[in-house]
Each structure stands twice: as C-alpha cells, then as structure tokens.
Amino acid sequence: MKNKAGFITLIIGIFFLLSPLWFYWLIHGSHERYLWIINGPYPLSHLGSGPLQLWTMLALVFIGMALSVASVFLYRKK
C-alpha cells in the first residue's frame, strides 16, 4: 500500500457516502421502528421530519465527498 492515510480517508469517505442509505433504512425500515423513533425523546423525535432527514443526509454525503477528494490529494502526496 502506497499511502495509508489516503486509503483510510477513502474508506471513511465511502462509509459516509453510503451512510444515508443506512440512515434511511434505520428510520423507514419498519413501521413500528419509525413510530418508536418519532415518539422518542428530543433528538429522536425530530428524525421523522423531512427537513431534518434531508439536511442530515446531505451533510453525510458532503462529508463523504470531501473525504474522498481529500483522499485523492493524500494518495498523490509523495
């Protein structure tokens, strides 16, 4: 492996890029779980709203893209 930092950053970036899919499944995977989440305490109760889900997923994708781009620069660094 040429550069460990670049590779690790790429793996973390890919994890963040795929995490919105997991996040969506976590909330909407089952009707009982969705009701349990939105009836929970403060942080969880707001996960049922569309705007919070949208901003959370966009933030995860943005972080994933930034880490993926950073990994390219770290990988090219000699």
pLDDT by residue for the chain (78 residues), tens digit each? Answer: 567 888 899 999 999 999 999 988 988 889 898 888 888 888 777 777 788 889 999 999 999 999 999 998 888 865
The pLDDT score that the predictor gives to residue 3 is 78
* Residue 65 and residue 17 in contact, taking contact as beta carbons nearer than 8 Å: yes
* Residue 71 and residue 7 in contact, taking contact as beta carbons nearer than 8 Å: yes
The pLDDT score that the predictor gives to residue 11 is 94
Nearest by Cα to 67 from 3, 16, 1: 16
Amino acid at 24: Y
Cα→Cα distances 44→23, 25, 26, Å: 12, 15, 12
Domain with 60, as residue range(s), is 4-76
